Structure 1
Amino acid sequence: MSSVRVAVIADAPQVRARLQALVDATPAFGLVRSAADGEALAHDLTGSLPDVIVIDLEPEASDALRSEFDADQAPPALVLLTDEADSDGIHEALPGNVMAILPRDATAAEIVAAIGAAAAGLCVLPSEIFARLLSGRKPPRSMASSVQVETLTLREIEVLTMLAEGLGNKEIARQLAISENTVKFHVSSIFGKLGATSRTEAVMLGMRHGFIMV
């Protein structure tokens, strides 16, 4: 199997060096480039984009989340290391390609696992944030019932259910005997109908509107 192409963004040189060493020490990963910020990384990269970018996010450094890459290419999955993982401000600033959120003191094993999961199209969240998404931030029942969303097709419900199970596009395509491009089309349609910007949000909204059960 080809290695997962990984880039690193970290303002602090010592943090950047630690993350570079972690990627280099993992046989399944290949370090593409590292930089102090997204603009510098985009300037240094040539050819195809990395599969995953690991970002060590300094407090009040949300500019690192801005997309600096060619809009014609699929954006890399982002693994975010932050001290403000449970902050409302962080959640509002997150682009849709953030696939993993970890505390900045996460262990090497946790970071490696998150990179692998993000490359496979899976989401990684601390348990407290996941619980908050599922319960703590639900609107009142009357408000939820008043929001009208377009009905999902049976196939879209199947795909959404598999997203809730943590399956990536390849596994969904294999189980449903369809192409990955078709899976991506269904995921895009689900996002549009539910008003979601990430897989985690799509699953949360799918449960809220009764399309899937847990």
Structure 2
Amino acid sequence: MTSNSVLLIDDHTLFRAGLAMLLASHPLLDELLEAGSIAEARRIERDDVALIMLDVCLPGLNGLEGICLLRKQFPKARVLVLSGNDDFNWRTQARDKGADGFLSKAADAEQIAAAIDRLLSGEQSWDESSASVLGQPALSLTSRQTEVLGLLCEGKSNKAIARELDMAENTVRVHVSAILASLGVSSRTEAAVAARQQGIVR
């Protein structure tokens, strides 16, 4: 049986940790490799990388500019670009650079799994239905993430949120990581402040 490893390239450790927990349970993926930059990823010598998930905004060479180098190093891998800024401009650039798909960091667990399934089956995954109109940035929180954010703003822990929404605690962590990325913040407190400032919650 062919081994499928996924290489996750993102410099935000919190988002990477949340996504790593989700990827660990995916039936088509055997091992997770992580890097915080293109340079760090290029030091990985593996021939079983089936999927590369990389952030647009990275220290040093950005994700879009790094696609060509990653293609040469991991020729069998499918490339999925991630971005906290869900607009047509990033999608267009990702296509032009040779990516196989684009996914907003605000995507929920089901959307992430569906994108991975499509890419590993040889298809592309652009999910343009969630892109903002006329290329303007969109917050792109799902209804589930908005629920999680509301409870987060009440000061509830991941365990309490999981209990109230009847979901696994790991799933809550993935949602919280996506929410932080979408809001452009690095802590739960900052997320609560930003959510109130933007009128997402009261």
User: Shorter-normalised TM-score: what interval?
Assistant: 0.5 to 0.7
Cα distance in 2 between the residues matched to 1:72 and 1:20: 22
Q: In the alignment, what sits opposite 2:79?
A: 78
> Aligned equivalents of 2:71 and 2:80: distance in 1?
19
**Which structure exhibits the higher relative contact order, with contacts defined as CA atoms closer than 8 Å and separated by 6 or more residues?**
2
Identity of aligned residues (%): 19
- Once the two structures are superposed, the pairs formed by residues 1-214 of structure 1 within 5 Å of their partners are 1-43=1-43, 45-58=44-57, 63-65=62-64, 66=66, 67-69=68-70, 71=72, 74=75, 76-88=77-89, 91-92=92-93, 94-128=95-129
Aligned length: 132
Q: Secondary structure at the match of 1:121?
A: coil
Closer, same or farther: CA 70–102 of 1 in aligned 2, 3 Å: closer
State the secondary structure of the residue aligned to 2:30: strand
For 1:36, give the aligned amino acid.
Answer: G
Give the letter aligned to residue 83 of structure 2. T
For the residues of structure 1 that align with 2:72 and 2:30, how far apart are their CA atoms? 23
Q: Note if contact 2:4-2:30 (Cα within 8 Å) is conserved in structure 1.
A: yes
**Matched residue SS, 1:128:** helix
The 1:84/1:126 distance shift into structure 2, 3 A limit, reads same
Partner residue of 2:160? none
SS of the residue corresponding to residue 124 of structure 1 reads coil
Q: CA deviation at 1:73?
A: 5.5
| SS of the residue 2:82 aligns to | strand
1:4·1:119 contact (CA, 8 Å) conserved in 2? no
The two structures have a TM-score, normalised by structure 2, of 0.54
Letter in 2 for 1:46: E
**TM-score normalized by the length of structure 1:** 0.51
Give structure 1 stretches of 5+ with no counterpart.
Answer: 137-214
Distance 1:56 1:63, change over 3 A: closer
Q: Distance in 2 between matches of 1:114 and 1:80?
A: 11
Q: Which has the larger radius of gyration?
A: 1
Q: CA RMSD in A?
A: 3.2
- Report the CA distance between 1:62 and its aligned residue: 7.1
Unpaired runs of at least 5, structure 2: 135-202
* Deviation of the 1:68 alpha carbon: 3.0
